A and B are shown apart, each in its own frame.
Chain A
Amino acid sequence: MRSELHLFAYLACLLFLYEGHAVSDWTYSFVGTDLGTPFSASLEQSIEDLLRASMLRRSDDSIEISEGGFKALSEFSSLRIFEDRVTVLEASTASAIYYSTGIVREALMLEPDLQRVKTVGGTRNLLESGSTDPLYEQFGVLKSALPESKDLRVPSLVWVSALFSASTERAFE
């Protein structure tokens, strides 16, 4: 589903920050909707462009990559300039393979900046300076629990599971 592309791109962006990069280096921004989900206008525009270029195609309610899209993806993925981006995207989507997309969506609703936007209401920019301290506090918890981890998929899976457990605890409290 299209909204899942926004979800996993946002998780990838968060993992990019976890790796110590600056948010501005991600090069496109996200807003949080009042439902507590991320959305990027740039990503949405790119999806439309790729659909028009037949790199992606619509299939029922979802979007699939075409053979041409897959070839282009393979070429771009091998470029050194995208190395960091491929790593965080793989770590982000690993959570969907190990858990399920529903679990990842529920977990991310407790990501501090998305939660802030949902509490305040309306549509607001995410990851602006001054709003990310609680996020880095969570990253601090993760880093101190996983000091040796070099594979970004490990903190990604542990964080999603922890957020989902917190979300379940909150729902039943």
Chain B
Amino acid sequence: MSNRALIDIIKDAVEKETASGLQIALESHFGSEGMDSLMRLSAFLRQTLYMDIDPHFVTGAITVVCPLKARPVRGTSIVSLKAFAGQQIQNLALEIQPTGHVFDISDIGFDITEESKTALVYRYTPFLDEFFVNGESKQVKSLCPGARSQFCGPTFFDLEDALTAYKQEFAYDCSCQILKTAWTDNRRLYFRPGPEFIMRNSLSQFLKVRLSGGYEVRPEQNVDESHPVDIKVTKLLQPRLMLIEIKWIGQSYNAEKDTTLGHWDSRADDGIPQLSNYLDWNRQQAPTINSLGYYVIFDGRRQGLNKTAEKFASTDLLHFEKKDIAFTTNLHKTRNDFVEPIRMFIRPAPEAFEVPKV
């Protein structure tokens, strides 16, 4: 990308940022105290609220009022939010005093517009973060497509933890906006032709955002000329390299040719010698670097699919959910630089399921 092209993109991005204008509105209405509140509130959301409350369980709204200056206490003092963990949340309202003390104000009637004249107010509704400044709503652009909130989800210091979180939070329900485009339609039955690059983009974007700043994540680095590995993760300032190979199994459908293509367990087998070769090649090229291989298989297998039916029985759609892949090679088990393959089953969307007959 040339510097000119980059400047144009940055100009565009800065214009969008200033148009949505949270920071600008905060500074303009409240000065530096407004930015202090934003820092206090952001830290609370990341380090406290979303450490204890999983936004999957929020069906209504969470509101957090962050007054700029200390004011008379209201509501009930809360020492820990752990009591809310795992509970469905319809309406929760909290106030954080400048001292850091948290109060439950859910049962106190308040008006967000009025509150936002003397406080920074945050509201979460599913997949939307909003701040209110002087009565105006400022929506937060999501930098991690598929994340329910920009502020949820811990930063990972370990790649395996990050991959597990991706599998559970993003792949299983296909909540990632990028990964959603890997399918021919929203029922999630057939992949579109050649979906690997979408899977790679989805996973690499997640890792870029959620792995700590101590890693470098690069999609599709060439290990050798004929076999690119899908994602390369480097631990900075340490001689550690992690190579991620991605494959998919299930069926793809080519609408133009009206043909389907099935990839089953034997296809998953192919990735094991490939990744082993990458690791060997890499060790020859950089013998002082400790390399580890991660094999990720996106599993979209469904039983009994046909193009004429709209909906299918759950026993067919979920037939493979708990069925591990029967690898015919055990090469990955004999190497100490090959992490156990990670199968990520992607569940079909609710609209693909037949309603059970009573």
A60 to B212 CA separation, bound complex (whole angstroms): 14
Least CB separation from B236: chain A residue: A3
A40 to B14 CA separation, bound complex (whole angstroms): 29
A49 to chain B minimum Cβ distance, whole angstroms, is: 17
User: Are A157 and B211 in contact, CB atoms less than 8 angstroms apart?
Assistant: no
A102 to B27 CA separation, bound complex (whole angstroms): 26
Q: Answer yes or no: B254 CB below 8 A from chain A CBs.
A: no
User: Are B212 and A1 in contact, CB atoms less than 8 angstroms apart?
Assistant: yes
Q: Answer yes or no: B43 CB below 8 A from chain A CBs.
A: yes
Label chain B's interface by main secondary structure.
Answer: helix
Q: Answer yes or no: B315 CB below 8 A from chain A CBs.
A: no
A165 to B211 CA separation, bound complex (whole angstroms): 17
User: Are B9 and A146 in contact, CB atoms less than 8 angstroms apart?
Assistant: no
User: Are B236 and A100 in contact, CB atoms less than 8 angstroms apart?
Assistant: no
Q: In the complex, how many residue pairs between chain A and chain B have their CB atoms under 8 Å apart?
A: 144
Q: For chain B residues 202-257, which have a beta carbon within 8 Å of chain A?
A: 204-205, 207-217, 219, 234, 236-237
Q: Answer yes or no: A161 CB below 8 A from chain B CBs.
A: yes
A172 to B316 CA separation, bound complex (whole angstroms): 35
Contact of A145 among B1, B18, B27, B46 (CB under 8 A): B18
User: Are B14 and A112 in contact, CB atoms less than 8 angstroms apart?
Assistant: no
Q: Answer yes or no: B7 CB below 8 A from chain A CBs.
A: yes
A90 to chain B minimum Cβ distance, whole angstroms, is: 9
User: Are B212 and A101 in contact, CB atoms less than 8 angstroms apart?
Assistant: yes
Contact partners of A166 in chain B: CB under 8 A = 6, 9-10, 13
User: Are A138 and B27 in contact, CB atoms less than 8 angstroms apart?
Assistant: no
User: Are B24 and A168 in contact, CB atoms less than 8 angstroms apart?
Assistant: no
Q: For chain A residues 134-173, which have a beta carbon within 8 Å of chain B?
A: 134, 137-138, 141-142, 145-146, 148-151, 153-154, 157-159, 161-166, 168-173
Say whether, besides A151-B27, A151-B32, A106 and B208 are in contact (CB < 8 Å).
yes
Contact partners of B306 in chain A: CB under 8 A = none
Least CB separation from A154: chain B residue: B23
| Total chain A interface residues with beta-carbon distance under 8 A | 57
A31 to chain B minimum Cβ distance, whole angstroms, is: 13
User: Are A154 and B216 in contact, CB atoms less than 8 angstroms apart?
Assistant: no
Say whether, besides A1-B157, A166-B13, A104 and B213 are in contact (CB < 8 Å).
yes
User: Are B216 and A37 in contact, CB atoms less than 8 angstroms apart?
Assistant: yes
User: Are B3 and A112 in contact, CB atoms less than 8 angstroms apart?
Assistant: yes
Contact of A1 among B3, B31, B214 (CB under 8 A): B214
Least CB separation from A155: chain B residue: B23
Contact of A164 among B1, B143, B217 (CB under 8 A): B143
Contact of A100 among B38, B39, B210 (CB under 8 A): B210
User: Are A171 and B31 in contact, CB atoms less than 8 angstroms apart?
Assistant: no
A115 to B6 CA separation, bound complex (whole angstroms): 11
User: Are B143 and A161 in contact, CB atoms less than 8 angstroms apart?
Assistant: yes
User: Are A97 and B15 in contact, CB atoms less than 8 angstroms apart?
Assistant: no
Say whether, besides A62-B157, A94-B39, A98-B38, A4 and B14 are in contact (CB < 8 Å).
no
B102 to chain A minimum Cβ distance, whole angstroms, is: 18
Say whether, besides A100-B155, A148-B28, A170-B1, A138 and B209 are in contact (CB < 8 Å).
no
Q: Answer yes or no: A88 CB below 8 A from chain B CBs.
A: no
Q: Answer yes or no: B283 CB below 8 A from chain A CBs.
A: no
Contact partners of B17 in chain A: CB under 8 A = 145, 158, 161-162
Contact partners of A162 in chain B: CB under 8 A = 10, 13-14, 17
Q: For chain A residues 74-129, which have a beta carbon within 8 Å of chain B?
A: 94, 96-106, 110, 112, 115
Contact partners of B3 in chain A: CB under 8 A = 112, 134, 137
Contact partners of B204 in chain A: CB under 8 A = 171
Contact partners of A99 in chain B: CB under 8 A = 143, 150
Q: Answer yes or no: B85 CB below 8 A from chain A CBs.
A: no
Contact of A102 among B42, B43, B210 (CB under 8 A): B210
User: Are B212 and A102 in contact, CB atoms less than 8 angstroms apart?
Assistant: yes
User: Are A97 and B35 in contact, CB atoms less than 8 angstroms apart?
Assistant: no
- Identify the interface centre among B9, B18, B38, B46: most chain A CB within 10 Å of its CB: B9
Q: List 24 A-B contacts (CB under 8 A).
A: A1-B212, A1-B213, A2-B214, A3-B237, A4-B212, A33-B236, A35-B236, A61-B214, A94-B39, A97-B43, A98-B42, A102-B207, A102-B212, A103-B143, A105-B215, A110-B6, A112-B6, A115-B6, A145-B17, A149-B27, A151-B27, A154-B24, A165-B16, A168-B205
Q: A1-B212, A102-B210 are in contact. List 12 more A-B contacts (CB 8 A).
A: A4-B213, A7-B213, A39-B237, A98-B38, A99-B150, A100-B209, A110-B6, A134-B3, A145-B18, A153-B23, A157-B23, A162-B17
Chain A positions within 8 Å of B, measured between CB atoms, are 1-4, 6-7, 33, 35-37, 39, 60-62, 94, 96-106, 110, 112, 115, 134, 137-138, 141-142, 145-146, 148-151, 153-154, 157-159, 161-166, 168-173
| A-B complex: 10 closest residue pairs judged by Cβ atoms | A1-B214, A101-B213, A162-B13, A3-B236, A105-B213, A4-B213, A165-B13, A166-B9, A154-B23, A3-B237
